[in-house]
Chain A
Amino acid sequence: MRYLPHTRQDIDQMLAVTGHADLNQLFETIPDSAKTKTELNLPDALSEWDLNAQMEELASQNTACRSYTCLMGAGSYDHHIPAIVPYLISRSEFMTAYTPYQPEVSQGTLQGIYEFQTMITALLGMDIATASHYDGGTALAECALIALRKSKKANKIAVSSLIHPAHRHIMKTYLGPSGYEIVEIPADKNGLTDVAAFKAMDGIAGVAVQSPNFLGNIEDLGSFRACADEKNCLFISSFTEALAHGLLKSPGYFGADLVAGEGQSLGMSKSFGGPGLGLLAGTRKMMRNLPGRFVGKTMDSKGRRGYVLTLATREQHIRREKASSNICSNNGLNAMTAAVYMAAAGKNGIREIARLNHDKAVYLKNMLVGAGFESVYNSAFFNEFVVKAPAGFADKRRELAEKHNLFAGVPLESYYPDMADHYLFCATETVSRQAMDLLAKEVQS
């Protein structure tokens, strides 16, 4: 096996030093009764070339193996990924390093993550950002836990029903054993979270609202901030499309205490849903309550600029059962990916890409409405929106996928039972007008 360097002679020499007769004897401390009686029943080892063939065969069973038009978002977005992003990220020094516990030989990871933290605070308008989390949903669940732990009296978290359904589901799982309660804030007729319904709630430790929300609509975060102030609870703002912040006012502008979201759009492939990038940011006041790692700037013994992991006393390896979270490994390489993407896009690039997303989505919505779909909401949106499809669209949608490699929207009925025939469409900068025109033509005929 090419990954195993030991020659017969090496093994003999080493066994002579350890005092064992053979490799099996190395395991003499394991009682025989504990040893397995059967050899591992796994397929025979493949050569690199056979592996390539077998994996390509598997990959080809996904439609994604051919170029396709992706008009689906819902938490996973199709964006252009500049060649330099995977190229730089595949550098061995980034990819095959461990968590930077020895800062003297980890300055590359550390400065990169420090720059990532800085750019995320700029993107979200927040004071501080952590070195990453698993994904948007788990980051949001951590925020709910922070709010609940901080509150001395309240034991409920108010959650917009227009937060990504999977994110809400994760919160429910995370909070399950804790005895905390989740109360959902219903949607109003504009496809926005009903702030009046939130006003009527009490005993709330924190309120979480996603913008743009799961239906694509841009929420009025300012009124939730004001209402949270009246209730003296934390305001958590979440998102699934990080690029929206290239165009929209930031959650920090509206005074969010905590922000959680998904950063996959910042240079990561969809990769069947993961790994993406959990983003978690807060105000300075929240610094010691946030979970996970931080990189901080400092100096070395000769007075030179350098970076270290800091504020580690919040973490599990020191505070153990009292830690702010159990997180250890995060999504470091994905954070580095986002850093490269944001550095390359820059202030103007991210703005332009964001505007293009919005332009394309508006065009697509107009075309669909022109082709007989019904516009459901009049609220402003970024790159996703809901339309009600004419009868028979479900079959048409399958046909479009099979014949044209075009994936037209995400059906919403499984998430909201009263939304039969409603679809969540997404258009990003990768979608051509030609593809959108084709869709309109196909659904009309």
Chain B
Amino acid sequence: MTQPGTTGLIFNEPELWDKSREGRCGISIPRSDVPRADLDPALTGDAPELPQLSELDVVRHFVRLSQWNFSIDSGMYPLGSCTMKYNPKTNEVQAARKGFAAAHPLAGDEFSQGALKLMYELEQLLGEITGFPAVTLQPAAGAHGEFTGMLMIHAWHAKQGKQRSKILVPDTAHGTNPASASLCGYKSVNIKSGPKGILEPATVAEAMDEDTAGIMITNPNTLGLFEDNIKEVCDIVHAKGGLVYGDGANMNAVMGIIKPGELGIDVLHLNLHKTFSTPHGGGGPGSGPVAVVKDLIPFLPVPRVQKENDTYSFITNCPDSIGRMHTFYGHFGVMVKAFAYILSMGGDGLKRASQLAVLNANYIKESLKTTLDLPYDRPCMHECVFTDKGVQEYHISTMDMAKRLLDYGFHPPTVYFPLVVNAAFMVEPTETESKDDIDQFIEAVKAIVKEAASDPDKLKSAPYLPKVTRLDEVTAARKPCLKG
């Protein structure tokens, strides 16, 4: 089978300022039609030392840079926990419509009905998908949503008259979970998952007490396993007066299958840039809506969108609200894309997407479980986690296999996460990868494991085809050079 990775002509490109020539300018300066009005020279400084380039200089520079990147549009990107599914192009067209892109956030409700209606309807759609009565779209990313959710839990406990000091966090949690909790002053209590890779009710019961604000659960968890005992765990936490935070980063596995709001979860964040197909942009912008049960509605951030007689407006008069999380209403441009995606898929389409995402992951798990070590051999959800145990005898690590995959033309899976297994190799194919592409990926992994035995040195200095080879991260951290 021919693998996608090959060589091709790319270009060297210096840093911007090396191309700078005094006097060049790459933008069109509008003709002035008003008199010059000089500011007091005591207030003005020198012009900032930005590079001076022509328009074509800038275009070539960034086109060349872009060609050094791997992206979903160029190949399979099976990063576990990241849901790197195809980002539909029509979504970009929708967000770029003048009525949305040029809208000023303070134009006033009556001049912004389209934007308000879109936000209101997206809240309804996400509420239906997750099984919650209310949603805020304000958080700007998943971690921001977590913080929003934890602030609501904090505010709820305060309203009950007694604040609590701890929060339970399973060992499979994303690092953002404990970090978000500590922003609310909660001390994280680590909960170990059981031998099946999921939470045991007994462990939770033992740790849960009346000084514990609740639990943060990712379901499906970061091992790609469904937390079978979720309802029991929720009951245990509720019985002690705690609340359940759901990390919905992995919602792509279960749309139309479960609704977290029906299981006892009280607050759930979603990642529009994962489950709902908006592009990750090399690190954002994301969007992290938060859905809540009825009791938590008063605590949602302001402003909230309200509908009355087919007219939409922002309301801020919510005395129990945690406050504001974003300067305006969140990442509206990202919301438009997710809205377009949901409308394009429909309910059946979303369920189908989850089914196929789970099918793809199980297919990879079954196809590779004799090639790679699989610490938890049970049906998985949208992702599966292997380790490097089988190749350790050749002194080959997960990192070496990951780097070698690049030469085959695949982005590596997530590596060394979750921490609950040693040297994890975490594959999330998503539903938009075809069987053909997945078969190619499987062949590549098999070939690499063979190479590990036959030519381990080759793996240790991989990759060979990208623009650069392995980078010296130690010197980068010891002697940080953060600007040119």
Q: Do chains A and B touch in the complex (CB under 8 A)?
A: yes
Chain B residues with CB under 8 Å of A96's CB are: 71-73, 87, 279-280
**Does the CB pair B99–A65 fall under 8 Å?**
yes
**Does the CB pair A329–B48 fall under 8 Å?**
no
Binds B, one of A154-162, A196-204, A224-232, A306-314: A306-314
Which residues of A, 181-215, contact B by the 8 Å Cβ criterion? none
Which residues of B, 184-225, contact A by the 8 Å Cβ criterion? 184-185, 187-188, 225
Show 26 A/B contacts (Cβ-Cβ < 8 Å), sorted by A: A27-B226, A30-B228, A36-B262, A62-B115, A70-B104, A96-B279, A118-B484, A123-B50, A169-B323, A270-B102, A272-B332, A275-B331, A297-B482, A298-B471, A306-B468, A312-B477, A325-B179, A326-B179, A329-B284, A330-B284, A333-B279, A346-B53, A359-B37, A363-B37, A401-B108, A432-B33
Q: Which of B52, B257, B349 contacts A348 (CB 8 A)?
A: B52
The answer to whether B170 has its CB under 8 Å from any CB of chain A is no
Q: Mark B163-176, 1 if CB is under 8 A from A, else 0.
A: 00000000000111
A92 to chain B, nearest CB (A): 3
**Does the CB pair B141–A54 fall under 8 Å?**
no
**Does the CB pair B346–A86 fall under 8 Å?**
no
Q: Top 3 A-B pairs ranked by shortest CB distance?
A: A273-B328, A332-B283, A333-B281
Contact A359 to B36, CB < 8 A, known contacts A296-B480, A320-B188 = yes
Q: Mark B34-74, 1 if CB is under 8 A from A, else 0.
A: 11110110011101111111010011011101111111111
- Interface residues of A toward B: which range? 35 or more
B480 to chain A, nearest CB (A): 5
The answer to whether B329 has its CB under 8 Å from any CB of chain A is yes
**Does the CB pair A355–B379 fall under 8 Å?**
no
**In the complex, A250→B476 CA distance in Å?**
28
Which residues of A, 214-271, contact B by the 8 Å Cβ criterion? 218, 245-250, 253, 262, 269-271
Closest to B82 in A: A98
The answer to whether A376 has its CB under 8 Å from any CB of chain B is no
The answer to whether B128 has its CB under 8 Å from any CB of chain A is yes
Contact A93 to B66, CB < 8 A, known contacts A75-B327, A274-B331, A293-B283 = yes
Q: Which of B51, B175, B255 contacts A316 (CB 8 A)?
A: B175
**Does the CB pair B103–A270 fall under 8 Å?**
yes
**In the complex, A433→B183 CA distance in Å?**
49
The answer to whether A429 has its CB under 8 Å from any CB of chain B is yes
Which residues of B, 220-236, contact A by the 8 Å Cβ criterion? 225-226, 228, 230-231
The answer to whether A131 has its CB under 8 Å from any CB of chain B is yes
**In the complex, A99→B284 CA distance in Å?**
8
**In the complex, A300→B475 CA distance in Å?**
11
Closest to B353 in A: A4
**Does the CB pair B30–A55 fall under 8 Å?**
no
Residue among B70, B86, B284 facing the most chain A CB atoms (10 A cut-off): B284
**Does the CB pair A272–B344 fall under 8 Å?**
no
**Does the CB pair B470–A18 fall under 8 Å?**
no
**In the complex, A25→B34 CA distance in Å?**
71
**Does the CB pair B281–A94 fall under 8 Å?**
yes
The answer to whether A373 has its CB under 8 Å from any CB of chain B is no
Chain B residues with CB under 8 Å of A362's CB are: 34, 37
**Does the CB pair A64–B43 fall under 8 Å?**
no
Contact A1 to B33, CB < 8 A, known contacts A104-B406, A273-B327, A340-B62 = no
Closest to B36 in A: A359
Q: Mark A75-86, 1 if CB is under 8 A from B, else 0.
A: 110101010101
Q: Which of B67, B188, B280 contacts A329 (CB 8 A)?
A: B280
Chain B residues with CB under 8 Å of A439's CB are: none
**Does the CB pair A107–B468 fall under 8 Å?**
yes
**In the complex, A63→B113 CA distance in Å?**
9
Which residues of A, 351-384, contact B by the 8 Å Cβ criterion? 351-353, 355-356, 358-360, 362-363, 380
**Does the CB pair A272–B49 fall under 8 Å?**
no
B100 to chain A, nearest CB (A): 5
**Does the CB pair A28–B35 fall under 8 Å?**
no
Binds A, one of B290-298, B388-396, B430-438, B450-458: B430-438
The answer to whether A31 has its CB under 8 Å from any CB of chain B is yes
